[in-house]
Chains A and B, each alone.
Chain A
């Protein structure tokens, strides 16, 4: 295990900012949600790597990632329910067509 910690951090940074780029440029709400998942995953990698390299005797990063994965699953399920509901009303899922909060 002689891989330096910074290698993991650089990989997760690239992944996070790929997510940022997608979140800014995408119009389809599902694609934005996919970018969001990328960002969440990058943060999870950071927690695990900090846990392993800086505090190897503790388990805090491990549990934080475990709970973050659970919460991300719940959040994605709800967001997809909302997106499908929107699709029923306006027949597509582009953010441009969503200028009204009520229907």
Chain B
């Protein structure tokens, strides 16, 4: 019963992701594109929750859906009038885009479908939510498979990003 529920939920999430990500790149109104992107991000967070990475799902919701999309909507409203439509694509450009994406998808899909992935049976290990304590220790530890250095590097990167954002966006 639980498996059927899982499959139904996965089917719904997959449908939302596929439909909304295609609509994101084909709609002519950019504000709608941002809204469809929001749905894609929600469904991605749903997939993280379904795979038992609850912390990652929460981060996805907070950072992407809560932060980045708001930033997008603000900048769209600042740079275009509501109701503006993008001009129609020239046929040449559409063909080039379609060739690039469909050809890439075929190559990629063929490789994925033929590669013999060695999946471990999920019942052999303890599944379930990762302990928050374990995540914290791995994030702050200095041993092998622990991530203090990237953590510090990303904090310096975010500081540089704040300073860069102020420098770029301030009025001269």
Contact = CB atoms under 8 A, between A and B. Distances in A.
B33 A34 contact: yes
Given A53-B119, A84-B79, A20 B17 contact: no
Nearest to B99: A24
B76 to A, nearest CB: 6
Interface string B73-109: 0011011100000110100011011101110110011
A34 B36 CA distance: 10
A81 B169 contact: yes
A6 B26 CA distance: 26
B125 interface: yes
Interface string A8-20: 1111011111111
Q: Select the residue from A11, A20, A28, A45 with max chain B CB neighbours within 10 A.
A: A11
A55 B119 CA distance: 8
Interface residues of B, number: 77
Contacts of A53: 117, 119-120, 122
A73 interface: yes
Contacts of B157: 71, 74
A2 interface: yes
Interface in B142-172: 145, 147, 150, 154, 157-158, 161, 164-165, 168-169
Given A80-B72, A81-B168, A56 B122 contact: yes
The 5 closest A-B pairs by CB, nearest first: A22-B25, A24-B97, A74-B161, A21-B101, A25-B97
Interface of B: 3, 6-7, 10, 14, 17-18, 21-22, 24-25, 30, 33-34, 37, 40-41, 44, 47-48, 51-53, 56, 59-60, 63-64, 67-68, 71-72, 75-76, 78-80, 86-87, 89, 93-94, 96-98, 100-102, 104-105, 108-109, 112-113, 117-120, 122, 125, 127, 130, 134-135, 138-139, 145, 147, 150, 154, 157-158, 161, 164-165, 168-169
27 contacts: A6-B113, A6-B117, A7-B14, A9-B112, A15-B40, A17-B105, A18-B25, A20-B100, A24-B97, A24-B101, A30-B76, A33-B72, A38-B21, A45-B44, A48-B47, A53-B120, A59-B134, A62-B56, A63-B147, A66-B56, A70-B154, A74-B161, A75-B161, A81-B164, A84-B75, A85-B168, A85-B169
Interface of A: 1-3, 5-11, 13-22, 24-28, 30-31, 33-35, 37-38, 41, 44-45, 48-49, 52-60, 62-63, 65-67, 69-78, 80-85, 87, 92-93
